[in-house]
Amino acid sequence: MAEIAIDLGTANTLIHVKGKGLVFNEATAIAFDEKTNAVIAIGDSAAEMIGRTPPSIRVVRPLSTGVISDFAAARLFLQQAIRQVVRYNRLSPLRVIIGVPSRISGAEFKAFEDALDSTKIAKINAVQEPVAAAIGSGINFSQPKGCLIIDVGAGTTDLAMLSLGRVVASRSLRIGADALTEAFSNFLKNERRVNVGDRTAEQFLREHGQAMLLSHAPGVVQAVDMKLGLPVEVTIEAEEVFAAIKEPVSLIVAELRRLLDSVPPDLAADVLSEGIHLTGGGSLLKGLPELLQEQTGLLCRHVEDPLKAVVLGCGQILENLSAFRFVLEAMPDEIRSDAN
Ligand SMILES: Nc1ncnc2c1ncn2[C@@H]1O[C@H](COP(=O)(O)OP(=O)(O)OP(=O)(O)O)[C@@H](O)[C@H]1O
Ligand SMILES: [Mg+2]
């Protein structure tokens, strides 16, 4: 039986194959021929076409805010990505461990399940992403001790308090790195009267975005003047970038406060000694650990590999199912698959 672990994220999809390790790490994107609907490319090569395609090609990002938004595209993307890394058929079915947002609804999970199970040959187990990220980062949360993990992805921010091997409290925000990119693009449009591509804006924020003003160095972005329709280089002050993304960043801080407020005091007190673990690509925004630390007084640090923690954790579960059975058994009913 082919066995795989998947982190199907809004921006990136990672696949671990049992016995082989991480074999797929590409953008969650698929390009179609507009006329024939044939798939032209998936992954990074499809994402590179975003904003640069002729009218005959359509590029789709099948997920948004952490869940499937285009079912047909998600299904095709998964089928093609999985076929690149393993062989499976009715006689040799596929076993899948998949990471999902911690507060996903039953209907949203069903879409993941159906997209994977479309050939009726997948056995599926879902793991809440903060749990997977903790396992993948070697964080021990099997003790009766609170462990707080925040996963800032492209589409969602998942905040979870773990203890005794399970999520004891969680909150989620449909805001992540994509929302910051959108806020920055809107600033350029409204204040500077220039248009910028999503990929350019995202790249700029990786370098110049800040959750807290730690650097005052300006940055230059390539954009198109809205009036003249011509390409221009625009210099943006560090203070302007900071102000442009301040609001979505402040929502993450507010959600963290709400989570800390909602848990029993003993669990919250454990975080004083343990600190907060940050994971997900969006958590790499400069100054985010410093801001969260300033706002809560709690130590904040990144896990070892924020972009891979979820798939590493799902992979560890897959490699050692008996040791991690307690994790699968502790998952909420909404994400227990019928296919098991
Ligand atoms: N160095 C960086 N600084 C700021 N942002 C970054 C950096 N590196 C990656 N990112 C952002 O991280 C995002 C990808 O993170 P990640 O792979 O964790 O998201 P995802 O798992 O696909 O999304 P989700 O979990 O929300 O479904 C990208 O949108 C990218 O803009
Ligand atoms: Mg993610």
> What distance in Å separates the CA atoms of residue 30 and residue 49, rounded to the nearest whole number?
10
* pLDDT above 70 (res 118): no
How many angstroms separate the alpha carbon of residue 168 from the centre of ligand 1? Answer: 25
Q: Which ligand is nearest to the CA of 282?
A: 1
- As to burial, measured by CB atoms within 10 angstroms (0-12 exposed, 13-18 middle, 19+ buried), residue 145 is middle
* pLDDT above 70 (res 279): yes
DSSP 113: H
> CB under 8 Å to 91, separation ≥6 — which residues?
none
**Identity at 309, one-letter amino acid code:** A
Chain segment 217-230, per-residue pLDDT in tens? 999 999 999 999 99
- Domain 142-302's class? alpha beta
Q: Which of 105-119, 185-199, 217-231, 256-270 is predicted least confidently?
A: 105-119
Q: Where are the domains of the chain?
A: 2-132+309-335, 142-302
Report the predicted TM-score, pTM, of the whole model to 2 decimal places. Answer: 0.96
The atom number, within ligand 1, closest to the CA of 63 reads 27
**Which CATH number is correct for 2-132+309-335, 3.30.420.40, 3.40.50.720, 3.10.620.30, 3.10.20.30?**
3.30.420.40
Number of helices and strands in the chain (H, E): 11, 18
How many angstroms separate the alpha carbon of residue 307 from the centre of ligand 1? Answer: 7
Chain segment 39-62, per-residue pLDDT in tens? 999 999 999 998 888 889 999 999
Chain segment 17-31, per-residue pLDDT in tens? 999 999 999 999 999
- By C-alpha distance, which of 150, 154, 106, 155 is closest to 129? 150
* Encoded tokens for 32: 């179609």
> What distance in Å separates the CA atoms of residue 186 and residue 294, rounded to the nearest whole number?
28
Residue from 50, 103, 170, 202 to probe ligand 1 pocket by mutation (most atoms less than 8 Å from CB) = 202
Q: What is residue 53's predicted lDDT score, i.e. its pLDDT? A: 81
* Average pLDDT of the residues in 219-243: 97
Q: How confident is the model at residue 119 (pLDDT cuts 50, 70, 90)?
A: low
